[in-house]
Structure 1
Amino acid sequence: MQKQVTIIGSGIVGAVTAFYLSADPTLNVTIYDEGIGQATKNSAGIISPWLSKRRNQRWYELAKAGAALYPEIVQTVQMGYSVYQQAGTIVTRHDPTDLDALYKLATQRRQAAPQIGEIEKLTATEVQERIPLLTAPEPGVFISGGARVDGDKFAHNLLKYAEKRNLVRHKGKVTLGDQGQLLTQHGQQAYDTLILAVGAWLKPLLLPMGIVADVRPQKGQLIELQLPESWGDDVPVLMPEGERDFIPFTRSKLVVGATHENDMGYDLQESALVEDDLFASGVKLDSRLTKDQISQVKVGTRAYTRDFAPFFGPLPDNPHILVASGLGSSGLTTGPMIGKLLADYVQTGQQTDWDRYQLPISTYLDDAD
């Protein structure tokens, strides 16, 4: 008899989990999505964790593993360059000493992460040669393994692929009862395993069960510009010092952003002031940009925890309910590995090496008063 696995949330974690589970003929897989404020749909799309100076080693191991999964998934689903492209990343530094330290860090980390690829120290002129859009380039370090991904298209492609195998999709809001009952607009739905991949909305979803999740919403905004010129598929992503990230997507789309706004709650309103700030950051890199080139402002809500680390796995008192949250601004990087680990757990019941990637899940869950 097939087991019923239900996933709530179709962002990066939900989509990757569904992708892996849909290959298992012993499972019926269903996914529900409300689709409001999803971080995956409104993300900048940089996959390049290796030069991060975050001290959390568990986060780095998770991000490194997530980045390594992309080529395998992209090849399986046959996604094009407009979805994912390993065009490299350039990280700039003002100070030559800082640049040398960054180059040294990349060289050290390549020993355990060959996915970094080639490493080059570039002059300002060489940076401009790689990214012709720039009018004020600075020296930087280039790593060929860095990539850009359109999170919205990536998740969409995964779900369409999973539907062809063994996935049923539903739109609409769901809630939980005090015993973890799944309540939908069509009434209570049965499940054998429930996976809550709802990002910043995990806290209100779990409250009826008397569980308080250490999850806070973080607002993120970015701008997309449609430029008159076009470029090839091999233009790298730029992570400049002191400015917003600068992501040239295939052909003529440029993304600048995103912000990290911790005190805005679940606000999804576009801010003209933030738009101006993002545009000003873009102009510092390319002085030819004009405001009428802004084609879209995107706003999403990320989930973050008090230590800015993600968590995932079964609830301590209910192993049939799995949760994942707290991915923050690196969700597109850590999300694939979290989705794969959750899918493996559903199929095997094992949490192999999970302590490499996170603190105990009880760190982030508490009983309601």
Structure 2
Amino acid sequence: MNKKVAIIGGGIVGASAAYYLSSLPGGDQINVTLFDDGAGQATKAAAGIISPWLSKRRNQRWYQLAKDGATTLMTLARRANLSTDIYQQTGTIITRTNEKDLHDLYVLAQERHEEAPDMGEIELLSANDVKERLPLLTNPQPGVYVSGGARIDGEALVESLLEQAQQVNLTVKHQRVSLDNRGNIVAANGLQRFDDIIIAAGPWLTDLVAPLGIKVAVRPQKGQLIELSVPAYESQENMPVLMPEGERDFIPFGHGKLIVGATHDDEAGFNLTATPEATEDLLSSAKQFADYLTEDNITRTKVGTRAYTPDFAPFFGRLKNYPKLLVASGLGASGLTTGPLIGRLLAGTLIYGGTPDWSNYEKPLATYLS
């Protein structure tokens, strides 16, 4: 009799877990059901940069998770045959306006390359060099180029992973569910029993585990980005992505599409309404580097809700007092980088069992759950 697994949440962690449960050896012995109503999901509203190596964050566990997450994505892109519209290693340019800061960043890149060969080639670029690689810019700044950096479309990634898993052992149900006080799923048609349940519902984890008497140190954060129509250069599909100092990410996609974002709004909670203030913030940031952009260039706005913990670190694993429940949350703005690895780790423990030690990636779950 096949094992029955449920996943609550179809974002980056849930979709990745579903994909690996369908593709890892032994996954054919599992029937997977994924529940997601789609409302507010951060991944569907996300497009981002995969380039964690030069982060200023001092949390070494997070850095290890993000570094290995970037490697996981490189492998996943080949394994799942992701198109370049979804994931492409275009390289990343991280800018600095101060000459000393630029030099220090270049030295840091060389140091971290020793333990992170997936960074690829590292180059110090002048403003003119940056302009040559990113002709969309009118006001380029000098920066450090890392060839292993990539751009990713979160919504398209999730759709591709779920579509592939559905061809094997996954059933997707577009509905909101809850848990009873024993950890069973309550769906539209009543109580549902599963052998294991992965709860990958971002900031909604708090409400889901409340019937179990569990409190979660997670808060919602609203994020908004804009998509713009820009001149379609022949080289645009291969243009590097830009991480400007103190500004929003600048992400060229192919076919004349540019994405800028995202904002970080800690006060709006679960509100999914795009605001003129956030749009102006994003457009103003983009105009710092491409001064020809106006509101007329904006073709689309997306809004989603991220999950943050007090120390800005993600957590994931099996609940001690409810061993059939596994949770993951708190990925914040790095979800597209860390989510696929977390999904693979959770899928692996469901297939192969055991009590894996993930302490190199996270603090104990009790740090965030009480």
Instruction: Say whether the fold is shared (TM-score over 0.5).
Output: yes
Give the alignment's Cα RMSD to 1 decimal: 1.0
Which stretch of structure 1 is more off in the superposition, 288-297 or 344-353? 344-353
Task: Deviation per CA, 1:272-296: give whole Å up to 9, x if none.
Answer: 1110111111111101112111011
Once the two structures are superposed, the pairs formed by residues 240-319 of structure 1 within 5 Å of their partners are: 240-319=244-323
Q: Under a length normalisation based on structure 1, what TM-score does the superposition of the two structures give?
A: 0.97
Q: Which amino acid aligns with 2:342?
A: I
Residue of structure 2 equivalent to 1:343? 347
- How far, CA to CA, are the matches of 1:97 and 1:318 in structure 2? 52
> Aligned residues, how many?
366
Aligned-pair distance for 1:251? 2.1
Aligned-pair distance for 1:228? 3.8
Match of 1:68 among 45, 68, 71: 71
SS in 2 for 1:178: coil
Structure 1 contact 28–167 (Cα < 8 Å) conserved? yes
SS in 2 for 1:298: strand
Q: Which amino acid aligns with 2:97?
A: H
Pair 42,354 (structure 1): closer, same or farther in 2 beyond 3 Å: same
- How far, CA to CA, are the matches of 2:159 and 2:200 in structure 1? 16
Which stretch of structure 1 is more off in the superposition, 248-257 or 318-327? 248-257
Residue of structure 2 equivalent to 1:322? 326
- How far, CA to CA, are the matches of 2:137 and 2:159 in structure 1? 32
Aligned-pair distance for 1:198? 0.5
Structure 1 contact 231–252 (Cα < 8 Å) conserved? no
Structure 1 contact 93–138 (Cα < 8 Å) conserved? yes
Residue of structure 2 equivalent to 1:143? 146
Does residue 1:122 correspond to 2:145, yes or no? no
Q: Under a length normalisation based on structure 2, what TM-score does the superposition of the two structures give?
A: 0.97
Match of 1:198 among 181, 197, 201: 201
- How far, CA to CA, are the matches of 1:272 and 1:320 in structure 2? 44
Structure 1 contact 81–250 (Cα < 8 Å) conserved? no
Structure 2 contact 95–243 (Cα < 8 Å) conserved? yes
Aligned-pair distance for 1:348? 2.1
Does residue 1:168 correspond to 2:171, yes or no? yes
Q: Which amino acid aligns with 1:125?
A: N
Unaligned runs of 5+ in 2: none
Aligned-pair distance for 1:29? 0.9
Structure 1 contact 344–350 (Cα < 8 Å) conserved? no
- How far, CA to CA, are the matches of 1:246 and 1:104 in structure 2? 24
Pair 316,113 (structure 1): closer, same or farther in 2 beyond 3 Å: same
SS in 1 for 2:173: strand
- How far, CA to CA, are the matches of 1:293 and 1:351 in structure 2? 51
Residue of structure 1 equivalent to 2:336? 332
Does residue 1:210 correspond to 2:213, yes or no? yes
SS in 2 for 1:25: helix
Once the two structures are superposed, the pairs formed by residues 358-369 of structure 1 within 5 Å of their partners are: 358-366=362-370
SS in 2 for 1:200: helix
Aligned-pair distance for 1:363? 0.8
